[in-house]
Amino acid sequence: MKHALQLCSLALNPSAPSPTASMVKIENGHMTAFGGLFCISVPQPVEVGACFSPSLAATFFRKERKAVAYTIDKGKLTMKEGKEKLSIPCLPPEDLVTLDVLEDPFQAELDLTHFRSLVDVINPANSRVWAQGISFRYGMMEATNDSVIISAVSGLPDEVEFNLPVDSAKALMKFKSTITAISVSERAVKFSFKDGSSLTSLVILEQLIDTSKFYEGPWTPLNLKDTEDLLKIECDSVGFQNGNAAYVQEKAKGVIEGISAPGITVVVGKESLDRLLRISSDIRISEDGHRLMAVADTCRGICSTRR
């Protein structure tokens, strides 16, 4: 129950006007929560049915319980184990409306290797709604913050398309079980897990713009060395020239000699460079010098440079 409460609480929305947006419900062997954007359902074998606040139940489930007895009487849900008992207000389970996808599911092995990089690059406050999620299409998943674009292999069929909101994507990473099936409709997508859990999310109706032109070559390797050390430097930008890297940190100026290929001159924002380096140390520069690209087996990242 403790893990189910924590996982379902990710779907809650305390700022929503409906009181059930801050509640979970137990019914038909599952615990479910839906705050308005995505719905989480977790197997939870409890015989009674009720909606209640998980924050009120959290103290009782501060530790794992093995033999809890549940009863409902006069609008109160009572949980008892041994010498400890807790009673909290509750509502009928039918008061909590949930979200589901009726389309047939297909078996899926979603590749989450670079999923964290995609989630981290998104700016939820982006004025472009389509940029507030991860676009799945053509067997790829893509995300951007307008300065950096990251594209990774999803493992899904080429014809499957949806744009997953960033908050739903963050919740998806909290599941310990593996994804076994996905269902997609025009307005929602459902991820089903091996342990019987599920996450069902509304989707962003617009897709990310076509990014293929940004990856057009040819590209020249920077041949960066000591990239782990480069990641540790805190500065606004890094300039590569004559095989060296120069950076300014407040009033201090630093140079790292022999860190890159000679004959390349380029300046790049440090935050953007870091996002690429977390994908791969194989960084390349476009022929026009306007873009850097990180190349990994199943992921690529692009950022603009400063000329």
Residue 72, pLDDT score: 95
With a CB cutoff of 8 Å and minimum separation 6, the contacts of 234 are 249, 270
> Is residue 119 very low, low, confident or very high in pLDDT (cuts 50, 70, 90)?
very high
Residues 88 and 45 in one domain: yes
- Do 88 and 151 belong together in one domain? no
DSSP-derived secondary structure letter, 211? -
Number of domains in the chain: 3
Specify if 130 maps to a domain: yes
Q: Which residue, of 95, 127, 145, is where some domain finishes?
A: 95
Mapped onto helix, strand or coil, the DSSP state of residue 169 is helix
Tens digit of pLDDT for each residue in 18-38?
999 999 999 999 999 999 999
Q: pTM to 2 decimals?
A: 0.91
Q: Tens of pLDDT along 175-217?
A: 999 999 999 999 999 999 999 999 999 999 999 999 999 998 8
Residues 6+ apart with CB under 8 A from 220: 261, 264, 284, 285, 287
Q: Are residues 111 and 197 in the same domain?
A: yes
Confidence at 307, pLDDT banded by 50, 70, 90: low
Does 206 lie in the same domain as 117? yes
Same domain, 204 and 219: no
In a domain, 35, yes or no: yes
Strands (E), 35-114: 38-43, 50-52, 69-73, 76-81, 84-89, 106-107
Helix spans in 85-215 (H): 115-121, 166-172
Regarding whether 284 and 236 lie in a shared domain, the answer is yes
pLDDT band at 252 (very low <50, low <70, confident <90, very high): confident
* Whether 182 contacts 106, CB under 8 Å: yes
pLDDT at 127 over 80: yes
DSSP state of 296: -
Specify the 3-state DSSP secondary structure of 141.
strand
Assess if residue 17 is contained within a domain: yes
For residue 207, what is the enclosing H or E element?
none
Domain match, 196 and 224 both: no
Examine the pLDDT at 299 and tell me if it is beyond 80. yes
Q: Which of 210, 238, 260 is the last residue of a domain?
A: 210
Contacts of 8 (CB under 8 A, 6+ apart): 24, 31, 32, 33, 40, 41, 42, 54
Q: Which domain holds residue 289?
A: 215-304
Residue type present at position 101: V
Instruction: Assign residue 82 the CATH number of its domain.
Output: 3.10.150.10
Query: Does any domain span residue 30?
Result: yes
The answer to whether residues 255 and 229 belong to one domain is yes
Q: What is the mean pLDDT of residues 240-255?
A: 90
Q: Is 11 domain-assigned?
A: yes
Q: Is residue 101 part of a domain?
A: no
Q: What is the dihedral of CA 198, 201, 206, 207, to 10 degrees?
A: -30
Residue 122 above 60 pLDDT? yes
Residue range 228-257: mean pLDDT, rounded? 91
Q: How many CB atoms lie within 10 A of CB 299?
A: 21
What does the mean pLDDT of the chain come to?
94
Among the candidates 175, 210, 245, a domain finishes at: 210
Query: How far apart are alpha carbons 131 and 128 in whole angstroms?
Result: 5
Any domain includes 168: yes
Asked if 288 contacts 266 with a C-beta cutoff of 8 angstroms, the reply is no
Query: How many CB atoms lie under 10 A from the CB of residue 252?
Result: 8
Contacts of 79 (CB under 8 A, 6+ apart): 57, 60, 68, 69, 70, 85, 86, 87
- Whole-number pLDDT of residue 66: 86
Report residue 4 as tokens.
Answer: 């189910």
Encode pLDDT of 135-157 as tens digits.
999 999 999 999 999 999 999 99
Is residue 100 domain-resident?
no
Check whether 250 has a pLDDT greater than 90. no
